[in-house]
Amino acid sequence: MKTKIVILIDALGFAIAERNGFAPSCLPAKARLRTVLGFSQAALASIFTGLTPDRHGLWMMYSFAERESPFAWLSLIPRSVSERRLWLRRLIRWKLAAVDSVRGYYSLYDVPREVFPYLDIPARGDIFAPRGAKGIPTVFDWFEENRVPSLVWDYRTEEALAFDELHEAVRGGKAAFYLLYTAALDSDLHRYGTEAPRIGEHLAWYRDRIERVAASARSVEEADILVFGDHGMCDVKSYVDIMRGVEALGLGIGRDYVPFYDSTMARFRIRSSRARNALGKLLSEQGGGRVMSPSEMAELGVAFPDGRFGDIVFLADPGVVIRPSFMGSEPIAGMHGYDPAEDRMYSIILSNLALPAPEMSICDVARLICPGIRSGSAGEAP
Ligand SMILES: [Zn+2]
């Protein structure tokens, strides 16, 4: 197999790349890359499995618990103890790692105590390692099965160090498959927005690093190089408060409904007809976004008829952020997690290989990384 070098830059948007002239000279082929609805977990799982979220099952970091929640024990802790207490957060983390075998990335964010016992974390595995997607084959499984020597750098390694190590490893011919993932650009875009000068500087730095890696690959043996992102980014223009209206309905959390407020999606598990009617009416009249219809969710590949990610899903319009939310209350300059059809949500893919079409989906990338991957088998997915 020809050596493959994959560089995955979180939030490398098509519009952001174009505006800043991001075009490493070693990668002449370019395509627009459509993302999936969701956040980075959904997009990364789609990239590595080649499947939409309703087929790989890892749509959101938090789902509503079907059976026993890994957080059920929290209802035994006195109500007076805040979820912000450090010892409690440590205990939650210890329990998830030691008892529930959660190896993937998750954050406790600002999820309230009263909601936790109704939640679950569907992504138990490490998506950057073999067997990371609940039995669904990923590119990492494929490389392991085919005994391809692989080296992977993920969010646990600081990006300058990761690029240095990648460069050294390629120069030494240490593996046949290299993957470097970095979330540093995503973090800058959230904090400073898409037009901050540092975004252009950051992209220029990536270009230099990529050209250096490509040059050392050429000096050893030719390699296929793919550089792409998982989604784009929108500058935040306004905020919408959904929580206040919902709380004013006087419904009981657990008894009537369970809410989950992401930054761009408010999801509700319905437990009484009273809640279904009241929330349905409130959200249909809510500005700044819309309730998604079942057919729209099916078209976007996020249909979960069992309601595990919500019986009602409200999606914010591009540039609108739901605040307050369980994601924290800090003001933010950029956000993603909007309708994938939105122009600014597109990512970009660049390569020294010919690409199959000028517009592709992130679900097409797994087959570019390893043409033999059995992503078709995922019809049986959860
Ligand atoms: Zn992000």
pLDDT on residue 135: 87
pLDDT on residue 378: 40
Q: Is the pLDDT of residue 342 over 80?
A: yes
As a whole-number percent, the residues of the chain with pLDDT over 90 amount to 74
Give the Å distance between the CA of 128 and the centre of ligand 1: 17
Average pLDDT of span 315-325: 95
Lowest mean pLDDT among 87-101, 170-184, 185-199: 87-101
Q: Which domain holds residue 173?
A: 3-55+126-234+340-380
Q: Is the pLDDT of residue 380 over 70?
A: no
Domain count, the chain: 3
How many C-beta neighbours within 10 Å does residue 381 have? 17
Give the Å distance between the CA of 16 and the centre of ligand 1: 14
Structure tokens at 95: 């329990």
Same domain, 152 and 50: yes
Same domain, 273 and 311: yes
Average pLDDT of span 292-304: 96
Q: Is the pLDDT of residue 252 over 60?
A: yes
H or E element in which residue 94 lies: helix 86-98
Lowest mean pLDDT among 35-39, 72-76, 312-316: 72-76
Give the Å distance between the CA of 334 and the centre of ligand 1: 9
Give the Å distance between the CA of 139 and the centre of ligand 1: 22
Give the Å distance between the CA of 308 and the centre of ligand 1: 23
Q: Is the pLDDT of residue 203 over 80?
A: yes
Give the Å distance between the CA of 116 and the centre of ligand 1: 23
pLDDT on residue 26: 92
Average pLDDT, the chain: 91
Give the Å distance between the CA of 61 and the centre of ligand 1: 13
Same domain, 267 and 283: yes
User: What CATH number is given to the structural domain containing 263?
Assistant: 3.30.1360.180
Give the Å distance between the CA of 313 and the centre of ligand 1: 20
Same domain, 38 and 137: yes
pTM recorded for the entire structure: 0.90
Give the Å distance between the CA of 232 and the centre of ligand 1: 9
Same domain, 103 and 131: no
CA distance 106 to 113: 17
Same domain, 42 and 165: yes
CA distance 229 to 201: 17
N residues, the chain: 382
Same domain, 197 and 214: yes
